């Protein structure tokens, strides 16, 4: 049944590629993967294979790849992606020796791929459970590890109709899961080679913090202002809430880094900002930053209209907001929390363990509407010490949850 579904999906991808650029890139990349491998594989090298579905999973696997590279240079690293949103962003990542798409999980593709690369071990990040690849790896005796994986009762493996597919989990040598619930669920279906280590994303955000950039434009904009609010990865429902509040509180400087950077969206944000002096980052870069008299100091809203700065911008915040919680789910709260600042987010966060942890410790604050946001901000304004305490709890939470990378690599037989 699985292989039948895969071939139906395969046909769907071919058809969709005629109309969708993202699907076309994936389809083209999958077809070129074997050629790339044949050109680049060193037949005398020992390859460790890391597979990440997309960019988020890559960030979880990155600390492992980089630590492995430092401690065991005798191995080469193959990195594969399923989604263009991962591959297109990280196709030039210097931490891997070969980077390509993973061909769709047909028996033929899996055999050709593994025959070409012959990995000595494989790491699948979080939710990756490709039936044919995993069965062939298991048949060949190649150790396979699932890292930063997390399981929930509603997943197919734990439903009556998913019994047959759940056998794929027995192909893994060991699971390194995020929490005790995952370990217990796996035990109920006979999977006991499981270790609870937490999430490697905590290690990654510490790396990001250590590598954070100094941003002269942001520093000039912030100046000596004691009240700075940073909204990261925001969507229109988020912006409707916090912008209306700060229009009434001009003593706060506001930095907005929207998730979608398109002219229509940027103009929409600017229209919401009534009575505020707004400047975009691309425009602000033109000013001289050598003087405290820079025109930037007279602006009170900075809109980030470029990518790659957000994780460094959080350092300038007193209070942060992470968007997405009024849509499909919140974005990366840890990149903000690691800077010892409170993190506010919308209600769609139940699937995100880090958000639950932040809420439990008091560093993360959930809102459902504008009234909730106003209540939290008024509390912070009237009790500045509450900002410091919530921020302290955020940073402490991240610090206490680090160490998954070390635990995994100390356990894996390299």
The DSSP annotation for 382-411 comes to H-HHHHHHHHHHHHHHHHHT--HHHHHHHH
Contact 380, 386 (CB under 8 A): yes
Give the distance from CA 409 to its chain's centroid.
21
Contact 326, 235 (CB under 8 A): yes
Q: What is the DSSP letter of 317?
A: -
Each of the 414 residues of the chain gets a pLDDT tens digit; together they read 676 666 576 566 566 666 777 666 765 767 788 888 999 999 999 999 999 999 889 999 999 999 999 999 999 999 999 888 888 889 999 999 999 999 888 898 899 999 999 999 999 999 889 999 999 999 999 999 999 999 999 998 998 888 888 899 999 999 999 999 999 999 999 999 999 999 999 999 999 999 998 999 999 899 888 899 999 999 999 999 999 999 999 999 999 999 999 999 999 999 999 989 999 999 988 875 555 546 788 899 999 999 889 999 999 999 999 999 999 899 999 999 999 999 999 999 998 999 999 999 999 999 999 999 999 999 999 999 999 999 999 999 999 999 999 999 999 988
Tokens encoding 290: 């050598």
Q: Is the pTM above the cut of 0.75? A: yes
HSE of 26, CA atoms in CB hemisphere, 13 A: 23
């Amino acid at each position: 049944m699985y292989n039948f579904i895969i071939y139906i999906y395969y046909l769907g991808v071919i058809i969709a590629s005629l109309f969708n650029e993202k699907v076309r890139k994936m389809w083209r990349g999958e077809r070129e993967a074997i050629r790339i491998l044949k050109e680049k594989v060193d037949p005398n090298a020992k390859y460790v294979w890391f597979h990440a579905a997309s960019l988020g999973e890559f960030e979880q696997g990155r600390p492992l790849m980089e630590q492995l590279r430092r401690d065991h240079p005798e191995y080469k690293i193959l990195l594969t992606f399923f989604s263009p949103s991962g591959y297109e962003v990280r196709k030039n990542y210097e931490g891997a020796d070969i980077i390509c798409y993973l061909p769709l999980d047909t028996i033929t593709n899996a055999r050709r791929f593994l025959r070409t690369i012959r990995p000595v071990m494989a790491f699948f990040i979080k939710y990756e459970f490709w039936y044919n690849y995993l069965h062939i790896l298991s048949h060949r005796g190649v150790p396979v590890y699932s890292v930063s994986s997390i399981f929930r009762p509603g997943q197919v493996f734990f439903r009556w109709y998913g019994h047959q597919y759940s056998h794929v989990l027995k192909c893994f040598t060991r699971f390194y899961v995020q929490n005790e619930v995952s370990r217990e669920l796996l035990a109920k279906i006979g999977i006991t080679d499981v270790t609870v280590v937490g999430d490697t994303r905590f290690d990654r955000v510490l790396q990001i913090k250590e590598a954070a950039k100094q941003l002269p434009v942001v520093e000039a904009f912030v100046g000596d202002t004691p009240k700075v609010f940073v909204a990261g990865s925001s969507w229109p429902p988020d912006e409707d809430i916090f912008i209306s509040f700060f229009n009434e509180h001009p003593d706060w400087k506001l930095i907005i880094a929207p998730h979608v950077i398109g002219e229509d969206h940027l103009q929409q944000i600017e229209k919401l900002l009534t009575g505020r002096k707004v400047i975009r980052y691309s425009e602000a870069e033109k000013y001289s930053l050598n003087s405290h008299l820079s025109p930037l100091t007279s602006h009170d809203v900075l809109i980030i209209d470029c990518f790659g700065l957000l994780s460094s911008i959080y350092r300038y915040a007193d209070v942060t907001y992470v968007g997405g919680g009024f849509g499909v789910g919140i974005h990366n709260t840890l990149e903000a929390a690691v800077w010892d600042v409170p993190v506010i987010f919308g209600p769609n966060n139940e699937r995100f363990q880090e958000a639950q942890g932040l809420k439990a410790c008091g560093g993360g604050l959930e809102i459902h509407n504008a009234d909730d946001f106003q209540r939290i901000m008024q509390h912070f304004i009237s009790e500045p010490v509450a900002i410091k305490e919530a921020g302290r709890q955020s940073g402490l939470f991240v610090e206490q949850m680090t160490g998954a990378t070390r635990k995994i690599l100390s356990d894996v037989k390299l």
